Structure 1
């Protein structure tokens, strides 16, 4: 049985286990060092002050997580959010990503978020550290490529591009309310 629920700070250890694989073995994240449990817990708590942070638990074990965060730190961007997702490396292509992103999008839409953005490491040519799977997943979820930064990330002795993908989920009317005052 799969459950999508809000993360709790006590989930941090398992979420960090999932993330650690990507830090050590891939260029999906441009972090070189896995953060400490304390730092990672603080990141989760900081995100949860304003945005949803969700986990997917399969038979009680967390196998993935997704969250949103500030797109840009200016009031005019308050209706936009950056999305992030990580699935345990041995649970990929199981449908958990779709379930998490659909739940995340629903919660963000209820908050009045209009635009979703994803910052994705992107290889010039696929290699052992990075494929185009993340971009393909986001495209499958309705995102489209909005821009590319060439050779902006350096990891494992090589340069990687970074792309921004976007998905417009709101109506974009001229009279919005809420903005920076919105809280979960």
Structure 2
């Protein structure tokens, strides 16, 4: 989908599960960035990728066949009226933090969601009033830099490492909200539309 200094952003595959899990597992074991406690199996993680791709983008950043990070979207809420809003997640290999990969992934994710007709990107972020070994507020700073605004905070709602953490919601609006809003495309529909357009270009 995009490339920058030899880093390619592409759609994730179920076969990427081991590499993505290697990135995600340290966040579970060592941080409160995710409130998940137990590292999922490779099979469970592959299933998450498969289920996400039915409707939403799941992207990886790759350099010389090595995956450096990933980003995906999911439903903000199951009710139909929320179909134009998504919850987003980005994870970067901890050896690659502050290298610009997060921005590359976020920009690609935002562009893809816009193409689908999604209007609101929402991020659920753990936060702390006092930095500790398991959590700082870098994710809030990152999303602020990406154009998000703080829309709500929940206090002492996440318990991990014998510590209570807050959680904030941040939001970025990426499209025009209209009275006659078209239904968003699923990610599968978007890919099929792109394939059809490519076929037409070759015929011209």
Matched, 1:47 2:64: no
What TM-score, normalized by structure 1, do the two folds share?
0.97
In the other structure, the counterpart of 2:76 is 71
In the other structure, the counterpart of 2:186 is 183
In the other structure, the counterpart of 2:157 is 152
Matched, 1:117 2:134: no
In the other structure, the counterpart of 2:144 is 139
Matched, 1:32 2:13: no
Task: Report deviation, 1:177.
Answer: 1.7
The CA deviation string for residues 42-89 of structure 1, in whole angstroms up to 9 with x for no partner, is: 011000000000000122200100000000000100000110000000
Q: Which has the higher helix share?
A: 2
- Matched residues in 1 for 2:124 and 2:95: separation? 23
Name the SS for the 1:117 alignment partner: strand
Task: Report deviation, 1:140.
Answer: 0.4
* Stretches of structure 2 lacking an aligned partner (at least 5 in a row): 1-5, 188-204
What TM-score, normalized by structure 2, do the two folds share?
0.88
Matched, 1:100 2:99: no
Name the SS for the 1:110 alignment partner: helix
- Matched residues in 1 for 2:182 and 2:143: separation? 29
Name the SS for the 1:4 alignment partner: strand
In the other structure, the counterpart of 1:3 is 8
Instruction: Provide runs of 4+ in structure 1 moved above 6 Å.
Output: none
Q: Which has the larger radius of gyration?
A: 2
